[in-house]
Amino acid sequence: MDTEHITPLVPVFEGNALTILWTADLKRNLLPFIPERHPLAEQMESLETMVERLHLLADQDNLRPEKCYFIGGEEGAIKIGKTLNPQARLRQIQMCSPIKVRILALAPGGGARERAYHVQFGEHWSHGEWHNRHPDILAEIDRINADLAATIAEDDPELAAEFLARLMEGEGE
């Protein structure tokens, strides 16, 4: 492939899903885009590196009181968003939802954390801020809740026990 004459990428969609990226040479031949062969490939960071960098930025974004939330039902899609008031946001989403939803997890970091999670779980994206339920997302929800329980346990073991009991009953926030 002649990398000196690569024109911009040409995305091909089926419905709303990106199926493949093509490049076109000067003769208008379409070639499949293979990132490893692209001239800028060595400058591109991996998805894992990008997610790690975004989470580090979110860790440093402690000035805002926003929370990043995971909201969903017992099954189906999970919404990843940010809010200053998780309970009010839950009520807003519940009004528009045909199923009962609850706060599955809350993480510090607001918008920066939300962006990191949207990149991290982009392959499970459904629409808007909704993501298809996937073991990777559920594992992160479990990790967030375990970290929160450990933090609470350090300060107040009885409150931690109550939190975990509520979480097991499906009422955790």
- Do 55 and 85 lie in one domain? The reply is yes
Contact 79, 126 (CB under 8 A): no
pLDDT, average across residues 52-76: 83
Tell me the one-letter amino acid at 109: G
Tell me the one-letter amino acid at 148: L
Q: Looking at the domain assignment, is residue 60 inside a domain?
A: yes
For the chain, the first-to-last Cα distance in angstroms comes to 53
pLDDT, average across residues 149-163: 71
CA–CA separation, 164 and 32 (whole Å): 50
Q: Looking at the domain assignment, is residue 116 inside a domain?
A: yes
- Do 63 and 123 lie in one domain? The reply is yes
CA–CA separation, 26 and 30 (whole Å): 10
Residue 89 three-state SS: helix
Q: How confident is the model at residue 14 (pLDDT cuts 50, 70, 90)?
A: low
- Do 56 and 83 lie in one domain? The reply is yes
- Do 38 and 76 lie in one domain? The reply is no
Residue 172's pLDDT is what? 42
pLDDT at 41 over 70: no
User: Which tops the pLDDT comparison, 173 or 18?
Assistant: 18
Query: 20-24, 78-82, 147-151: lowest mean pLDDT where?
Result: 20-24
**42-50, long-range: CB < 8 A, 24+ apart:** 47/119, 50/119
pLDDT, average across residues 146-159: 74
Count of the separate structural domains present in the chain? 2
Q: Looking at the domain assignment, is residue 155 inside a domain?
A: yes
- Out of 7-11, 101-105, 148-152, the most confident range is 101-105
CA–CA separation, 32 and 10 (whole Å): 9
Q: Looking at the domain assignment, is residue 53 inside a domain?
A: yes
User: Which tops the pLDDT comparison, 66 or 62?
Assistant: 66
pTM of the model: 0.65
What is the domain extent for residue 15? 3-43
- Out of 8-12, 56-60, 67-71, the most confident range is 67-71
- Do 136 and 95 lie in one domain? The reply is yes
Partners of 90 in the β-ladder: none
pLDDT, average across residues 151-166: 69
- Do 80 and 95 lie in one domain? The reply is yes
Q: Looking at the domain assignment, is residue 173 inside a domain?
A: no
Sheet holding 130-131, edge to edge: 102-108, 67-72, 78-83, 130-131, 125-127
Measured CA to CA in angstroms, residue 104 lies from 11, 50, 75, 139 at distances of 35, 25, 12, 11
The answer for residues whose C-beta is within 8 angstroms of residue 98's C-beta and 6 or more apart is none
